[in-house]
Structure 1
Amino acid sequence: MTTAYDPKITALLCVDFYNDFLHENGKLWPWVKDVAEQVNLLDNLRSIVAAAREAGIQIVHVPHHRMEPDTYKDWKYPSPYQLQAAKNQIFARGQWGGEFHDDFKPQPGDLICTEHWASSGFPNTDLDQLLRRHGIEKIICVGLLANTCLEATARVGMELGYHVTYVRDATAARSPEAMRAAVEIDAPTYAHEILTTADVVAAIKGSGPA
């Protein structure tokens, strides 16, 4: 049975809702386009965010570090993945690609945690502190990529004691194989719920007034 989402203890984590990922002109949209369109990603994200706002569930933006020309240059062991992102200036600070998509810009009352440098939104950020300060016990995780930042954030959330919901069609990956691995193989090892957007929206609406 799908869990209830009491707005007093539930947050929606919006991971990396940048133009470079979600806009058709974004640098990374070609990576995820096929899978994103297959699962109806953008409409699903709009539905979940709208339902969460209506219910009074806390919206928390979990943004990736925005690249600058010297990003990672003083790191002893940056990963090849990080170096490639820096080289291509993905989510470049001060540029359109590193801005939040127009449909998902932070609104008054939203929380924005400090930027994460690798995959998970928890290490070296204030995300855990923000959630605990606001009495959050359950996190609904949506965003990109299914097998990198979303998975890492959700997995560490479980390790820290949060109830984790992974929304299977509110994310995307570079390939169907990566998407299947993230949703079907990896998510069951840490998520308490693996739901569709329709299931989550129905559960939110059925969890009582804000």
Structure 2
Amino acid sequence: MTETALILIDVQRGFDEPVWGPRNNPGAEANMKALLDAWQERRLPVVLVHHDSTGPKSPLRPGQPGNDFKPELDGARPDLVFGKKVNSAFIGDVDLDAWLRKRGITSFVLAGIQTNFCCETTARMGGNLGYDVTFALDATFTFDLPGVDGDVVTADELYRVTAANLANQFATVKSTKEILAGLS
């Protein structure tokens, strides 16, 4: 049986800035921490990915406090840490696909920020590359977005649509509680 990696995407302080607007799922960070603790306790592979924005005003720019990981990741002992400049963790400073395959890892649990951008994109690519992807929906969050018609698409709506998109083709969508129960 191969090990399942935990991939935490963009769990960065910059997402606490008001520039992003209203968010959903205030319990997401606690769930990310619970997953991290469970993986580390079992000595399973942990990957931390951070977004290194090239935008001059972005709080996620390298060298800015917002580029640092959130306190929930304090004490993390990751097997791999790397940056990326686009949505997918499979297109970053490290070849994540090669790293996973070299270790015989064929499945991963995905959590982090934002549900409908970097997390969803990484899950989709992982599914397309043949990985068994589990998406820890309640260990993600996102923000309201303006719709093309001018109406606001709420974070909760985006969250639900991401779950539906992924569950019907790219990943198994589960809660943190379900994932942790499967580890026992």
* TM-score over 0.5 for the pair: yes
**Equivalent residue of 1:143, what SS?**
strand
Residue 156 of structure 1 aligns with which residue?
125
> Which digits, 9 at most, give the CA deviation of each residue in 1:55-107, with x for residues without a partner?
12100012212x3xxx3xxxxxxxxxxxxxx1432312112110111221474
Q: What is the CA–CA distance in structure 2 between the aligned matches of 1:143 and 1:160, rounded to whole Å?
A: 20
Select 2:178's aligned residue among 199, 204, 209.
Answer: 199
Q: What is the CA–CA distance in structure 2 between the aligned matches of 1:96 and 1:128, rounded to whole Å?
A: 29
Residue 27 of structure 1 aligns with which residue?
17
Residue 13 of structure 1 aligns with which residue?
7
Amino acid paired to 2:60 = F
Question: What is the identity percentage for the equivalent residue pairs of Structure 1 and Structure 2?
Answer: 27
Matches within 5 A, 1:120-131: 120-124=88-92, 125-131=94-100
Change over 3 Å in CA distance of 1:120–1:197 after alignment to 2: same
Q: CA deviation at 1:120?
A: 0.8
Amino acid paired to 1:181 = V
Matched, 1:181 2:165: no
Whether contact under 8 Å (2:88, 2:125) holds in the other structure is: yes
Residue 36 of structure 2 aligns with which residue?
49
Q: CA deviation at 1:14?
A: 0.4
Q: What is the CA–CA distance in structure 2 between the aligned matches of 1:169 and 1:126, rounded to whole Å?
A: 27
Q: CA deviation at 1:172?
A: 1.0
> Which digits, 9 at most, give the CA deviation of each residue in 1:161-209, with x for residues without a partner?
11000111011121111111111x211133442110100011112xxxx
Superposition RMSD in Å: 2.0
Q: How many residues align?
A: 172
**Larger relative contact order (C-alpha < 8 A, sep ≥ 6)?**
1
Matched, 1:103 2:87: no
Q: What is the CA–CA distance in structure 1 between the aligned matches of 2:157 and 2:77, rounded to whole Å?
A: 38
Change over 3 Å in CA distance of 1:28–1:164 after alignment to 2: farther
Residue 76 of structure 1 aligns with which residue?
none
Q: What is the CA–CA distance in structure 1 between the aligned matches of 2:20 and 2:34, rounded to whole Å?
A: 23
Q: What is the CA–CA distance in structure 2 between the aligned matches of 1:177 and 1:121, rounded to whole Å?
A: 24
**Equivalent residue of 1:170, what SS?**
strand
Amino acid paired to 2:88 = S
Q: What is the CA–CA distance in structure 1 between the aligned matches of 2:75 and 2:129, rounded to whole Å?
A: 25
Matched, 1:171 2:140: yes
The structure whose residues are more often strand, as a share, is 2
Change over 3 Å in CA distance of 1:32–1:143 after alignment to 2: farther
Matched, 1:119 2:99: no
Change over 3 Å in CA distance of 1:145–1:28 after alignment to 2: farther
Q: What is the CA–CA distance in structure 2 between the aligned matches of 1:130 and 1:54, rounded to whole Å?
A: 22
**Equivalent residue of 2:33, what SS?**
helix
Structure-2-length-normalised TM-score: 0.84
Q: What is the CA–CA distance in structure 2 between the aligned matches of 1:139 and 1:146, rounded to whole Å?
A: 16
**Equivalent residue of 2:116, what SS?**
coil
Residue 152 of structure 2 aligns with which residue?
none
**Equivalent residue of 1:13, what SS?**
strand
